[in-house]
Structure 1
Amino acid sequence: MTKPAADGKPLRARGEQTRQVILETALRMFRERGYADTTMRAIAKEAGVAVGNAYYYFDSKEHLIQGFYDHMQGAHRVAAAPVLDGEREFAARLRGVLHAGIDVNAPYHSFAATFFKTAAEPTSPLSPFSRQSSPARDASIGIFRDVMEGSTAKIDPELRVHLPELLWLAWMGVTLFWVYDSSPEQRRTRRLIDGVVPLIDRLVGLSRLRVLRPALRQVLELLDNVRRDD
């Protein structure tokens, strides 16, 4: 049995609540002051917790962002669930998942451009391509794997292995466009999604044509080569 805290709440639930308060406070301060100018001490003070308590839940500011990544992947999956549960056509599933991703990111648009300057640094642990970001990256790729596996699309077996990661890379491109999209409610990003999904759908369908298989293999070999560390 989980031991209750002094206020009657289970310690685990209270700890998760404290962790969430620290994370939400940090994100607000990042938006207001910028990532570089926000310290862990300032976050702790604003959240109403001891500095040591803040470090208990998050070892550093970078860990706060990793916590944000994890939170956003969970939110993306929840937002995408109605589409994944109700649609079987590949294009409809992909379109719905991409729009769901924009929906959950929307409250953080004002913060995104400032944060991206740090995350875009190749050696930054905040990069979506970094080792530290692998749990959130894998979770996101998993969403696109569900897009593929739950659809009725007939996909070339070789492409099927790599398609979830390719769709995630496309999502990274859409996200970058969204970061710098200054149109009202980022409508240009929505139009980009609606325009690019039919193209992806068509390319996935064409991948089964024998005449295109040599080109497809070249693309997949290129992907494998650029992923190698040597």
Structure 2
Amino acid sequence: MSEESKSAPTGVRQQRKEQTRHELLAAARRVIERRGLAATTTREIAAEAGVAAGTFFVHFADMNLLVETLLDERIGQALQLGMDTVPASADLVGQLVHVAGCLYEGYDDEPDLARQYLAATLFRSGPHGPAQQRIQQFQDWVTERITEGVGAEAIPDIDPTLAFTAYFGLYFAFLVAGLRGELERPQQLALLAASLHRLFRMEDGA
């Protein structure tokens, strides 16, 4: 750290740190667009951002965390949009399918990043990365909807956490199938809806 940085007020240092992080993310998007994700290195990203190679690791532990961060903003926006625009008349299955559809759209915007982001979501062990925090936000919303459904006797009594695990497994399987080009969006949503009706023992269209 330079003497100037050391002597700068804490607020100024934090602002500079956030600016550098922003520049690294913007540089990463440019390099990935030119070279593709697989060929992109941390050194290239740092050079594109105009910072020392080691500065990358001040902000991101590795490329997986960078990719999580790149995609998380888009996925976060998609999740929030889904939760905010659930049709008032939708039953539990309709609500869950609606949010899943918004998330599928978010992943489709950057499918190459999405594939690596999903791998990070599944296998990263740390509890504080963007992927884990986003899953927790997703789980909290879904379990609240399931709890409401049980309370209103709209669905049979079911443990909300176990139900979320089952729902997430279905959602994820159809997401991966979509990213692999095996299912079109209408098929993804139709299969998810049919599976959830069976999970919650609801009649289709109930």
TM-score by length of 2: 0.71
Q: CA contact under 8 A between 1:174 and 1:189: conserved in structure 2?
A: no
Deviation (angstroms), 1:150: 5.3
The equivalent position to 1:80 in structure 2, one of 82, 88, 92, is 82
Q: 1:99 to 1:162 in 2, by over 3 A?
A: same
Distance 1:171 1:72, change over 3 A: farther
Change (3 A) 1:111 1:68: closer
2:170 is the alignment partner of 1:176? no
Q: 3-state DSSP class of the match of 2:39?
A: coil
- Shift of the alpha carbon at 1:96? 1.3
Q: Which residue number corresponds to residue 6 of structure 2?
A: none
Task: Tell me, in whole angstroms, the C-alpha distance in 2 between the residues paired with 1:85 and 1:139.
Answer: 20
- Give per-residue Cα distances to partners, 1:189-210, cap 9 Å, x unaligned: 3112331243134214428xxx
- SS of equivalent to 1:25: helix
Query: 1:22 offset after TM fit, Å?
Result: 1.8
Equivalences for residues 119-158 of structure 1 within 5 A: 119=119, 126=120, 128-132=122-126, 134-149=132-147, 154-158=154-158
Describe the shift of the 1:60–1:201 C-alpha distance in structure 2 as closer, same or farther (beyond 3 A). Answer: closer
Residue type of the partner of 1:15? K
Matched, 1:198 2:193: yes
Judge which range, 11-20 or 88-97, deviates more.
11-20
Give yes or no for contact 1:79–1:100 (8 Å, CA) kept in 2: yes
Match of 1:185 in 2: none
Give the CA deviation at 1:175.
1.7
Asked whether the 8 Å contact 1:142–1:164 carries over to 2, the reply is: no
User: How far did 1:60 drift?
Assistant: 1.6
In the alignment, the residues of structure 1 paired with residue 158 and residue 31 of structure 2 have an alpha-carbon distance, to the nearest angstrom, of 45
- Partner Cα separation in structure 1 for residue 143 and residue 161 of structure 2: 9
Task: Find the aligned partners of 2:85 and 2:153 in 1 and give their Cα distance.
Answer: 16
Q: Is the 8 A contact 1:73 1:140 kept in 2?
A: no
Q: How does 1:90-101 map to 2 (within 5 A)?
A: 90-101=92-103
Give the C-alpha shift of residue 170 in structure 1: 1.4
Q: Would you say the 8 A contact 1:155–1:205 is kept in 2?
A: yes
Residue pair 1:109, 1:179 contacting (<8 A) in 2 also: yes
Answer yes or no: is the 8 Å Cα contact 2:81–2:102 preserved in 1: yes
Q: Which runs of 5+ in 1 are unaligned?
A: 6-10, 120-125, 183-187, 208-230
Quote the Cα distance in structure 2 between the aligned partners of 1:189 and 1:144: 24
Q: Distance in 2 between matches of 1:67 and 1:97?
A: 21
Q: CA separation in 1, counterparts of 2:39 and 2:51? A: 19
* CA positional deviation for 1:19: 2.0
Cα contact 2:25–2:66 (8 A) shared by 1: yes
Q: Percent of counterpart pairs with the same letter?
A: 18
Q: d(CA) in 1 for partners of 2:11 and 2:132?
A: 34
C-alpha spacing 1:4/1:130, structure 2 compared with 1 (3 Å) = closer
